[in-house]
Amino acid sequence: MKTVIKRFDELTAKELYEIIRARTEVFVVEQNCPYQELDGLDVYSTHLYFAENGVIAAYMRIVPAGKRFQEVSFGRIFTAMPYRGTGLGAKLLEEGIKTAEKIYGKLPIRIGAQKYACGFYERFGFAIDSDEYDEDGIVHIEMIRK
């Protein structure tokens, strides 16, 4: 499994295509949720993913403070279906925290999590920090890691 960590301007066209394809597969097709995938945040973000034979197995983006939330934030986090249940999601989140701290220091990290995943994020020190809200037809909740 290959680990890739790149700023937007370091991504190749093929890498960016694969990221958008994989995110659309999970969030639009699998979750049956039409939403605006290209939200303008990718260009500011650091992209972290694990790939196997050119296929993205797990992905997240690290968004600088002040772009989506006041704090540094994680977004578009997923593990592709064939890799779920293997511990890859936990490895991704650990690597994301480590990478965010390397880039920005030990600052709070905020996420807008799908509610069903709260227990997963709590294992990594995230705590609920908002009421539930609807985002694109899916119940979300903000969580913060201080």
Confidence grade of residue 35 (pLDDT, cut at 50, 70, 90): low
Task: Over range 18-26, report the average pLDDT.
Answer: 90
pTM of the model: 0.92
| DSSP string computed for the chain | -EEEEEEGGGS-HHHHHHHHHHHIIIIIIITT----S--S-GGG-EEEEEEETTEEEEEEEEEPTTTSSSSEEEEEEEE-GGGTTTTHHHHHHHHHHHHHHHHH-S--EEEEEEGGGHHHHHTTT-EE-S--EEETTEEEEEEEE-
* Burial class for 100, CB neighbours closer than 10 Å (0-12, 13-18, 19+): buried
Task: Over range 118-126, report the average pLDDT.
Answer: 95
Domains and CATH numbers, the chain: 2-106 (3.40.630.30)
Contact 119, 128 (CB under 8 A): no
Q: What is the pLDDT of residues 69-113, one digit of tens each?
A: 999 999 999 999 999 999 999 999 999 999 999 999 999 999 999
